[in-house]
Amino acid sequence: MDGTLGEAGEFGLIAELVKIFEGSVDGDEHVLVGPGDDAAVLRIKHGHVVVSTDLMVEGRHFRRDWASASDVGHRAAAQNLSDINAMGGTARHLTIGLAAPADLPVEWALDFARGFAEECKSVGATVVGGDITRADEIVIAVTVIGQCTQSPVLRSGAEAGDVLALVGRQGWAAGGLAVLGRGFRSPRALVEAYRRPEPPYAAGRQAAEAGATSLIDVSDGLLAEARHLAEASGVAIDVRRGAFEIPEPLTAVGAALGADPMQFILGGGDDHALLATFPDVASVPTGWQVVGEVLEGSGVTVDGLAYDGPTGWTHF
């Protein structure tokens, strides 16, 4: 569809977006009313309902010259789907709020929607509604509704003696962001990791079934998320540098930028890996890597010492 949002108008854009999303709900027995009405109507058969909301603001969370509209759609969906994953649940349905300038090309909005729908499809989730309005910059607000068939795994259950474990790619998106910030586009693997994260979607439920005592997704930084676990659980957490293998692309970027590549792993977010605590090493599922331990006390240390490097993203 050619033209801008101002030329297409609110209802013209909505009609095109409904075409993209309404097909995804066909055959979804949980959706009684999907996109196009005043509200969606869902059926939840059993278990716990889990809900999360995230925002993305142009210039703060993404730049159009760094990522395509489809990439932004994938990222917006991934960060929300990962929140349900981090409760040990399965994402089912999402709504999207999109605010954008009138001169934004319609095709950008549609490509964003296609990328968003594609990411949702990877976990069997569907878009059931949303809203659009005019704004001076692009703002994306997503709400995701999921389901836990078992008790949700919270941040607050870690106990001294537990082990800390990680699953998923970590530090790659942070390396890609550093590359883009310097005006480069390589190593391509890191740039693509920033543009389209690959959360370990099956691992949240896997952790819950294995008896994880606490669980969180690494959206803002590994040490920052470890601190959330420590504070919520009233414990101390020690992370071990030696548990991590630094992949070659991060080594290359560290050398090029004069930075310790470990800072991307310890302080990087946006890969949406999962960080969890388990009662012992034997209970850690296959594919997870033990990266630390839970102790009596408070705070987060690295190899038993205070860490003076970046620990993660802050919004203010």
Confirm whether residue 149 is marked as ligand binding.
no
Confirm whether residue 233 is marked as ligand binding.
no
- Amino acid letter at 59? G
Confirm whether residue 271 is marked as ligand binding.
no
Confirm whether residue 53 is marked as ligand binding.
yes
Rg (CA), the chain: 20
DSSP state of 157: G
Confirm whether residue 220 is marked as ligand binding.
yes
Confirm whether residue 136 is marked as ligand binding.
no
Burial letters for 290-303: b for 16+ Cβ neighbours within 10 Å, e otherwise?
ebbbbbeeeebbbe
Confirm whether residue 38 is marked as ligand binding.
yes
Confirm whether residue 68 is marked as ligand binding.
no
Confirm whether residue 270 is marked as ligand binding.
yes
Which residues fall within 8 angstroms of residue 72, CB to CB, at 6 or more apart?
56, 62, 64, 112, 115, 140
Which residues fall within 8 angstroms of residue 271, CB to CB, at 6 or more apart?
168, 169, 170, 171, 172, 173, 174, 193, 197, 198, 199, 218
Q: How many residues does the chain have?
A: 316
Confirm whether residue 219 is marked as ligand binding.
yes
Which residues fall within 8 angstroms of residue 149, CB to CB, at 6 or more apart?
46, 47, 90
Confirm whether residue 111 is marked as ligand binding.
no
Confirm whether residue 52 is marked as ligand binding.
yes
CA distances from 258 to 15, 44, 62, 261 (A): 50, 52, 25, 9
Handedness of CA 44, 50, 56, 62 (dihedral sign): negative
Q: Is the Cβ–Cβ distance between 68 and 113 less than 8 Å?
A: no
Smallest CA-to-CA distance from 1 within 113, 132, 100 is with 113
Which residue numbers belong to the known binding site?
A: 38, 52-54, 61, 83, 130-131, 155, 217, 219-220, 270, 313
Which residue numbers belong to the known binding site for ATP?
A: 130-131, 155, 219
Which residue numbers belong to the known binding site for Mg(2+)?
A: 38, 52-54, 83, 131, 217, 220
Which residue numbers belong to the known binding site for substrate?
A: 61, 270, 313
